[in-house]
Chain A
Amino acid sequence: MAFTMQEQVVVRCRDLRKTYEGKVEAVRGLDLTIYAGQCYGLLGPNGAGKTTTIEILEGLLAATSGTVEILGHTWRDHAPQLRESIGVSLQETRLAEKLTVRETLELFGGFYHHARPVADVIEELSLTEKADAWVGKLSGGQKQRLAIATALVGNPRILFLDEPTTGLDPQSRRQVWDIVRRFQSEGGTVLLTTHYMDEAERLCDYISIVDHGQVIAAGTPPELISGVGGQHCVEFALDPAPPNASDLWRTLPGVGSAQANDGITTLTVEEPHRTIPALLALVEQNHWRLSQLTTRQSSLEDVFVHLTGRHLREE
């Protein structure tokens, strides 16, 4: 890991649990440690417990059990001070439609003892042209930038973003990523949740993959990807598909893992140039027909599939 022991821990939670109404276990013993300056990602499918976790860390929900420390303090003892130090963007907040962008930021800035000048934030988030437009008239991407602006106007040390790019077009997503990178480059710490693996991979220094309220894997994106047994993926489909061939694929040279999903078999491999010829020879030898063959870099999606047997986007 790129961070030394002297690095300051800004968020730490241990054995976090949240049970709703005594039944639904949304979070089941979750640990995480976030260091100053990190962009930390909680990656997982919908319903994995990401939002519950981030809202507990933001002090908006009470945990059923476990400990949370933000900047070395607990919500119980230092809530007003902590509120001054963090910026929050919730999933799907609809801000007042008949206030302008500037008025909205003046309102949110007014809550903080030390705030950033509204004009600076507007400029930084490329909202200058829309500064005097009503919030109701903004596009989805502009609304999301404004939501992040309301978090940044309080000059936070930690930025919490819950699904910051869900539902946005590719260009708006990139704008949001730029905002996050800029905040981080100026020394801020970021915790974000996402179910987009490309977002986690490009933006985050460190990722916890969450499923069913637990961290099932954690590390830097390269660490996670090398953990699946190969930097590359070979995907192929056979017609007709031989049944239960997974064990057979694992005997091929250099194969880390094999997964079959929807008729497509995915092998994670270290060196495709060794595996593919062997695979083709095997196909030839058995008179199978190869209907598809692709190779690509392994991604966090493969990590998730490897760990759970499911895709991230499956409901």
Chain B
Amino acid sequence: MTTEPTTTARPIVVHGRWTGYRMLLLARLRELFREPEVIFWIFLFPILLALGLGVAFRNKPPEATRVVIAVQPGSEHIAELLRRGDAKSLKVELQPPAQAAQNFRLGKFDLELLPQGDAVEYVYDPARPESVLARSIADSALQTAAGSRPAVATTSRVNSEPGSRYIDFLIPGLLGMNLMGSGMWGIGFALVEMRQRKLLKRYVATPMRRGDFLLALASSRLILMIVELILVLGFGIFAFHMKVLGSWAAIALVTCLGALTFAALGLLTASRAQKIETASGIMNVVMMPMWIFSGIFFSYERFPAAVIPVIRLLPLTALNDALRAIILEGSSLASQAAPLAVLTVWGALCFFFAVRFFRWT
């Protein structure tokens, strides 16, 4: 390039290699924090969700088991035996046979007892766990009250420590879900919007380094995600006395890896789309299976054994598994090599194809 002197002696500032990147990152963060929706979805939403679900599924004191005895000769005696046997966990009522049968059918009672002389017939529903439990409690109460003695001496001890509760399972899942959602929306949406506004085209008409642009987008996500990690886990610890057994460094590392993987996935889904509507459709299609299968709200072990290996190959499953293992079980990073490898491969492949397909205009 010829170094013609610039036309006039205007004052000039000389910028270094990283000025463009720094300005892009700063602009991105400013834009994010000036968008009230972003603050809500990234910071408030997961906490509200954790609060709502945590309260709804909190470990409640065991509810009384409700049993009904059809009124017949001898039913008073049975009721008396039951009350004597286990007054604490049984709530006993007497009703005429037709009404008792009807109310059991409607689920108002867990168990129906039909006295037949000295004997008792249990009517229960094996498909209802509480019904099975009721039969067992009632039987045990009856036998004890009637003088039966246990053949084996047993004692029990209560254990409902943090770590095994639903909220403990939920919090890492929410973290994973939000890493996916905000990574994909945050990157994908922002890009398609900038393309639609012709802002991407305007940027490439400057000497901006394209790599810096993507890097700034990804780093703005990382910063947000670390803040979110601290908020969500912190909320679990303070509001639900959750215990974090693994190292925070390992958790932060997995969070970053997850954020980058989903950022790459977002980049790929937005690499060509010209309209927000198109991009949001594609993103929903990509995220839907993971919302269902990846064990956010319940364990994916409930799905048929045949599909579980496939589920484990989804990036969100890998992320959730690694987060849960480290947070809840205190596993080391090394022990999570398999899910971390799944995440890395997803991230790398998506990034590779995204850069190949990417359209600036």
Contact = CB atoms under 8 A, between A and B. Distances in A.
Closest 4 CB pairs of A and B: A187-B7, A110-B23, A83-B207, A81-B1
A188 B198 contact: no
Contact of B201 (A71, A93, A117): A93
Interface of B: 1-2, 4, 6-8, 10-15, 19-20, 22-24, 26-27, 30-31, 34-35, 197-199, 201-208, 361
Contacts of A85: 1
A111 B208 contact: yes
B11 A78 contact: no
A110 B10 contact: no
A188 B10 CA distance: 12
**By CB atoms of chain A within 10 A, which of B7, B10, B24 has the most?**
B7
B199 A93 contact: yes
Given A88-B206, A114-B14, 16 more contacts: A71-B1, A73-B1, A93-B201, A95-B202, A98-B30, A98-B35, A106-B23, A107-B23, A109-B23, A110-B20, A110-B24, A111-B23, A111-B203, A117-B13, A150-B202, A155-B6
B21 to A, nearest CB: 8
A78 B2 CA distance: 11
B207 A111 contact: yes
Give the most central of A58, A108, A111, A117: most B CB within 10 Å. A111
A113 B14 contact: yes
A84 interface: yes
A99 interface: yes
A116 B207 contact: no
Interface of A: 58-60, 71-73, 78, 80-81, 83-85, 88, 90, 92-96, 98-99, 103-104, 106-117, 120, 150, 154-155, 157, 186-188
B7 A157 contact: yes
Contacts of A106: 23
The DSSP consensus for interface residues of chain A is loop
Nearest to B32: A98
A98 B34 CA distance: 7
Contacts of A94: 197-199
Contacts of B12: 114-116, 155
A12 to B, nearest CB: 15
Given A98-B34, A99-B31, A60 B201 contact: yes
Contacts of A112: 15, 206-207
A111 B20 contact: yes
A131 B11 CA distance: 20
A85 B23 CA distance: 20
A108 B30 contact: no
B194 to A, nearest CB: 8
B207 A113 contact: yes
